[in-house]
Copies of this chain bind each other. A is one copy, B any other.
């Protein structure tokens, strides 16, 4: 068990009637607000109008950047940073899903650099300790960006999708109203749910040896919640209980409360980011294809008991098997969840992806070294895992 520091000062307003607190949170930082959003779903569901009304009533001057992409581009981030510089923005307000919040975080960081370009921060792996304050209104349970210190930014010119981290990127406040996710289609709900699940799985302690039982217990609690409520939300998109469980699970999965004493892993995420960077596929879908193959590839005598525990405690796999058989059943159960319950197409071939770029993607994913986790992955390992996904 490793020493750890837990610090998450994000103030979360969760529930149906919390937007009344928006102006007080924004005015903590000033009156000039850059509103960042995506394709306009917030215009359809009334959130945009609510924000404009609140701003007007509170003397807040609202500037806008719309059209944030599902995998937000560094060029979009830089547009936002330019607005911040030109208009002396005090606080960046994201209204949308994880991509929108990530974009807002990138803007907040780039706005305080000299040239307003986010890419040197991203590609240089800079830990951001200085940024404009970010406030987030979440409309999609998935990435955990509403309560974490990370943003993922894509550069489509160079086929790169990379995480930007920093204590200054934790939102100052987040508004989570499960009702905002009512309009999410079944496919997006499934992809978001698996993103949540995978954030926990990537951190789940699979390496054997001394563990932090409380953390494992809480990780399994969050994964069980996703397994239980994702199919409900897919069938009944306006089921508040289902949407609320998924939304708070999204925040729990990455707010560091489940990290204590573990080595923060991100094997599946590292491999999937390449898929999205090269083919712009939906992140959660890519993860669902990769995750069962990753577990199959790394399965060995050392990690079999932990994978089996995951199976019994999250998917109800029967107890009393030998560890290796149990672990295989656990991986089968995970596949059933991804491709049966969530209904996601099971192969990269289904997504029209072939092995053309696997070698380059595998090199990229390892960033000149290895992917850490329960088993270190070299480019040749990653390439093999991609091949298993065909």
A contact set with B: CB distance below 8 Å:
1-18, 21, 210-215, 217-218, 220-222, 224-225, 228-229, 240-241, 244-245, 248-249, 252, 257, 260-261
Given contacts A1-B244, A244-B212, contact A261 B14 (CB under 8 A): yes
**Sampled A-B contacts (7; CB under 8 Å):** A1-B244, A3-B16, A4-B15, A6-B14, A8-B9, A217-B224, A220-B221
Q: A3-B17, A213-B245 are in contact. List 19 more A-B contacts (CB 8 A).
A: A1-B15, A1-B244, A3-B15, A3-B16, A4-B14, A4-B15, A6-B14, A7-B10, A8-B9, A15-B261, A210-B241, A212-B244, A213-B241, A214-B245, A215-B248, A217-B221, A218-B221, A248-B260, A252-B257
Given contacts A221-B221, A245-B212, contact A5 B1 (CB under 8 A): no
Q: Is the CB of A11 within 8 A of B7?
A: yes
Cα distance A12–B5 when bound, in Å? Answer: 5
Cα distance A128–B21 when bound, in Å? Answer: 21
Cα distance A229–B211 when bound, in Å? Answer: 13
Specify which chain B residues have a CB less than 8 angstroms from the CB of A225 in the assembled complex.
Answer: 213-214, 217
Q: Shortest distance in angstroms between A278's beta carbon and chain B's nearest beta carbon?
A: 34
Specify which chain B residues have a CB less than 8 angstroms from the CB of A257 in the assembled complex.
Answer: 252, 257
Given contacts A214-B249, A217-B224, contact A3 B12 (CB under 8 A): no
Q: Is the CB of A244 within 8 A of B261?
A: yes
Q: How many copies does the complex hold?
A: 2
Q: Is the CB of A218 within 8 A of B212?
A: no
- 10 nearest A-B pairs in the assembled complex, by CB-CB distance: A3-B15, A217-B221, A9-B9, A7-B11, A214-B225, A6-B12, A221-B221, A218-B221, A214-B245, A4-B14
Residue of B nearest to A242 (CB): B213
Q: Shortest distance in angstroms between A302's beta carbon and chain B's nearest beta carbon?
A: 19
Cα distance A2–B244 when bound, in Å? Answer: 11
Q: Shortest distance in angstroms between A183's beta carbon and chain B's nearest beta carbon?
A: 20
Residue of B nearest to A17 (CB): B3
Cα distance A17–B252 when bound, in Å? Answer: 26
Cα distance A224–B213 when bound, in Å? Answer: 10
Q: Is the CB of A12 within 8 A of B7?
A: yes
Cα distance A14–B256 when bound, in Å? Answer: 13
Given contacts A228-B213, A248-B214, contact A3 B14 (CB under 8 A): yes
Specify which chain B residues have a CB less than 8 angstroms from the CB of A244 in the assembled complex.
Answer: 1, 212, 261
Q: Shortest distance in angstroms between A203's beta carbon and chain B's nearest beta carbon?
A: 15
Cα distance A229–B1 when bound, in Å? Answer: 15
Residue of B nearest to A248 (CB): B214
Residue of B nearest to A7 (CB): B11
Cα distance A232–B15 when bound, in Å? Answer: 40
Specify which chain B residues have a CB less than 8 angstroms from the CB of A6 in the assembled complex.
Answer: 11-12, 14
Identify A229's interface contact among B10, B213, B221, B229, CB under 8 A. B213
Specify which chain B residues have a CB less than 8 angstroms from the CB of A9 in the assembled complex.
Answer: 7-9
Specify which chain B residues have a CB less than 8 angstroms from the CB of A11 in the assembled complex.
Answer: 5-7
Q: Shortest distance in angstroms between A200's beta carbon and chain B's nearest beta carbon?
A: 12
Q: Shortest distance in angstroms between A136's beta carbon and chain B's nearest beta carbon?
A: 14
Cα distance A241–B209 when bound, in Å? Answer: 12
Residue of B nearest to A217 (CB): B221
Identify A8's interface contact among B8, B245, B260, CB under 8 A. B8
Q: Is the CB of A13 within 8 A of B17?
A: no
Residue of B nearest to A1 (CB): B244
Q: Shortest distance in angstroms between A218's beta carbon and chain B's nearest beta carbon?
A: 5
